[in-house]
């Protein structure tokens, strides 16, 4: 099923095509097996910092946040910082659009119930496999666990986060703390 609008591009970056991101998100969503609507907000670091403070009580910007809906109609929402994605893409030598796809994939896996902070590598393994299938470079989990220099993680910025504190698994009814 093709969704009407998956990507909300509040902050544009050079070479980023909303349609390409929307098609990627729809394909990744189907591949992962996520039922329901998913909205992806691509915005600025200030907005991500506000969301991070509101939902995680962390007063710093982050690259991606996931918000499971808990309803059958919608899988949830993903919020991404275009600024952090652009900086990281430049550091790693690929396009901002590619970095946004990596962040979308990571957020979708959180919406599917995976949590790399507590699943003993399950999410990382699935993300690696999907990244290869989609032709994407290293994902977020690999970057933080492979001993890569700190320069790949911009100073003062945290990594990805799921808005819920409890680990979840696919197929269960997930209750997040709220929708965007």
Confidence band for 73, pLDDT divided at 50, 70 and 90:
confident
Of 92-101, 107-116, 162-171, which gets the smallest average pLDDT? 162-171
- Residue 116 has what pLDDT? 85
Domain ranges of the chain: 7-162
| 5 pLDDT above the threshold of 70 | no
pTM here is 0.78
User: pLDDT of 9-19, one tens digit each?
Assistant: 777 677 899 99
Confidence band for 143, pLDDT divided at 50, 70 and 90:
low
Confidence band for 168, pLDDT divided at 50, 70 and 90:
very low
Percent of the chain with pLDDT over 90: 54
Q: Which CATH topology does 7-162 take?
A: Collagenase (Catalytic Domain) (3.40.390)
Q: Summarize the confidence of residues 69-78 as an average pLDDT.
A: 87
DSSP single-letter state for residue 159 = -
Degrees (nearest 5) of the Cα angle 138, 11, 116? 35
Q: Are 41 and 61 in contact (CB under 8 A)?
A: no
Of 26-30, 42-46, 111-115, 174-178, which gets the smallest average pLDDT? 174-178
Q: Are 115 and 152 in contact (CB under 8 A)?
A: no
* CA-CA-CA-CA torsion sign (114, 137, 131, 99): positive
Q: Are 58 and 95 in contact (CB under 8 A)?
A: no
Confidence band for 140, pLDDT divided at 50, 70 and 90:
low
- Residue 122 has what pLDDT? 92
- Residue 157 has what pLDDT? 40
Q: Exposed (0-12), middle (13-18) or buried (19+): which is 94, by Cβ within 10 Å?
A: middle
Separation CA 52–CA 68 (nearest Å): 15
- Residue 10 has what pLDDT? 79
β-pairing, 64-68 vs 161-162, is parallel
* DSSP characters over 39-54: EEEEE-HHHHHHHHHH
């Amino acid at each position: 099923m093709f969704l009407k609008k998956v990507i909300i591009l509040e902050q544009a970056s050079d070479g980023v095509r909303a349609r390409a991101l929307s098609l990627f998100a729809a394909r990744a969503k189907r591949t992962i097996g996520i039922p329901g609507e998913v909205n992806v907000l691509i915005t600025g670091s200030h907005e991500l910092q506000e969301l991070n403070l509101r939902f995680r009580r962390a007063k710093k910007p982050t690259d991606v946040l996931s918000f499971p809906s808990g309803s059958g109609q919608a899988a949830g929402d993903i919020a991404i910082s275009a600024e952090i994605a652009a900086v990281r893409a430049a550091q790693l030598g690929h396009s901002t659009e590619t970095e946004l796809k990596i962040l979308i994939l990571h957020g979708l896996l959180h919406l599917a119930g995976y949590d790399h902070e507590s699943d003993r590598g399950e999410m990382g393994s699935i993300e690696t496999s999907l990244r290869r299938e989609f032709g994407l470079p290293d994902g977020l989990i690999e970057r933080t666990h492979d001993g890569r220099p700190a320069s790949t993680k911009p100073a003062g910025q945290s990594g990805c986060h799921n808005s819920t504190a409890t680990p979840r698994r696919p197929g269960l009814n997930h209750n997040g703390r709220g929708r965007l």
